[in-house]
């Protein structure tokens, strides 16, 4: 065996250079605004502008559509490094991928030529409309309808908990196109533009965390769109949506390990400075054990995410399992590490003087969106039982 046989277990020089570049950008251009973004529940425009200027806002877009063509691992590194300082800002590249990936996976070249270049240039953002009030984990129970009317489709209904709704110009929307058809095989995917007649967004949700990323309902009141906005084949929308999630759950794992790393960084800096009983609290064995457990869990989750990203790039047959496992492990780890960081900072960890409490609040959503971690365990179990 040669040294190159082990390249799987280390980042390439290109990935390391990318990580350094994004980390510098994040600390210089995003971190200074993170607390204010959270405090005022405002969109992180400074982060958006910095990410667009550096081509990090939608790095996954292929070169043939004016993008930089970053691979799945590179995209995860971008999201991880941004999440390290601001989880809300990390949802810019993450949701641009989520919203546009159904188009990349199933759309015609004409549709891609129309919608991907503006995304790549930073002129438009993409969101994803799958969940509804009564169709969260049970996506096939959705009620939103799309009815053909001549050379148009007319959409009626709503979508819930849509990230960056009201900011994005484009939306991938799933709707029932055959109410009498077989459940799950009667759903199709469409692109809706923010200017389409009959489309609007609801009021911003008031949330525990990721307050800088607006979350709203999408509302369709006889929303008319041209028939060529259909993505892929009629009735294949849910299949396309679930295929998309196999890939994008990995990016949520990346966001989670970024949040966890930010919390560990904070905790390490604090315990080396804080003194009690005449010495640094970092010198107490109990503190050292906590730090070791935090770092060990974080590194295990990071490796799972990176392996899943590699499988995403290759389109491996076991991506469904690894995508669910990466998201589940990383988000559970992020919740534990951020909670421990708050504990290590003591009373200061509970105040807004330090970002520990924000990191903990932001971490929670990673266990919920793009499929709760209970759903991820069901997905993994089904993959195991299917052999």
Count of CB atoms within 10 A of residue 68's CB? 16
Contact, 184 vs 140, CB < 8 A?
A: yes
**Four-residue CA torsion sign, 122, 68, 105, 255:** negative
**Four-residue CA torsion sign, 303, 365, 293, 295:** positive
Alpha helical stretches, state H, 280-347:
285-314, 319-344
Element (H, E) at 361: helix 356-365
Q: If DSSP codes are grouped into helix, strand and coil, which group holds residue 107?
A: coil
Give the CA distances from residue 64 to residues 15, 42, 96, in Å, rounded to whole numbers and listed in that order: 21, 34, 17
- b/e string for 290-323 if b means 16 or more Cβ within 10 A? bbeebbebbeebbebbbbbbbbbbeeeeebbbbb
Start-to-end CA span in the chain (Å):
30
Count of CB atoms within 10 A of residue 373's CB? 17
Q: Respond yes or no: is residue 134 known to be catalytic.
A: no
> Apex CA 319: angle with CA 302 and CA 378, to 5°?
90
> Apex CA 165: angle with CA 162 and CA 166, to 5°?
160
Tokens representing 252 are 């949520």
Instruction: Quote the CA–CA distance of 362 and 327 in Å, as a whole number.
Output: 15
Positions annotated as catalytic residues are: 370
């Amino acid at each position: 065996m040669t040294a190159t046989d082990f390249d799987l277990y280390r980042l390439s020089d290109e990935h390391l250079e990318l990580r350094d570049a994004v980390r510098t950008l994040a600390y210089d251009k995003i971190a200074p605004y993170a607390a204010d973004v959270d405090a005022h529940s405002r969109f992180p425009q400074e982060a958006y502008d910095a990410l667009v200027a550096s081509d990090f806002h939608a790095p996954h877009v292929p070169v043939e559509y004016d993008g930089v063509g970053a691979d799945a691992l590179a995209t995860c590194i971008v999201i991880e490094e941004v999440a390290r300082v601001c989880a809300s800002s990390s949802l810019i590249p993450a949701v641009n991928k989520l919203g546009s990936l159904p188009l990349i996976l199933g759309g015609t070249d004409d549709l891609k030529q129309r919608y991907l270049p503006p995304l790549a240039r930073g002129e438009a953002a993409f969101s994803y409309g799958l969940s509804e009030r009564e169709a969260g984990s049970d996506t096939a129970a959705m009620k939103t309808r799309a009815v053909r009317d001549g050379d148009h489709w007319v959409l009626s209904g709503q979508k819930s908990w849509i990230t960056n709704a009201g900011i994005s110009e484009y939306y991938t929307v799933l709707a029932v196109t055959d109410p009498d058809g077989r459940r799950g095989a009667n759903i199709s995917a469409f692109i809706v533009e923010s200017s389409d007649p009959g489309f609007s967004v609801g009021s911003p949700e008031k949330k525990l965390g990721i307050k800088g990323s607006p979350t709203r309902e999408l509302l369709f009141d006889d929303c008319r769109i041209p028939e060529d906005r259909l993505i892929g084949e009629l009735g294949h929308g849910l299949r396309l949506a679930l295929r998309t999630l196999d890939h994008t759950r990995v990016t949520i794992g990346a966001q989670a390990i970024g949040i966890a790393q930010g919390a560990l960084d904070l905790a390490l800096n604090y315990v080396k400075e804080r003194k009690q009983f005449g010495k640094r609290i970092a010198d107490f064995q109990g503190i050292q054990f906590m730090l070791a457990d935090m770092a060990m869990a974080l590194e295990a989750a990071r490796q799972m995410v990176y392996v899943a990203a590699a499988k995403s790039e290759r389109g491996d047959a076991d991506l469904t399992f690894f995508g669910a496992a990466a998201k589940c492990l990383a988000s559970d780890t992020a919740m534990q590490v951020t909670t421990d960081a708050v504990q290590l900072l003591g009373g200061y960890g509970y105040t807004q003087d330090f970002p520990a409490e924000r990191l903990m609040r932001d971490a929670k959503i990673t266990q919920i969106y793009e499929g709760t971690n209970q759903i991820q365990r069901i997905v993994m179990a089904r993959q195991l039982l299917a052999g």
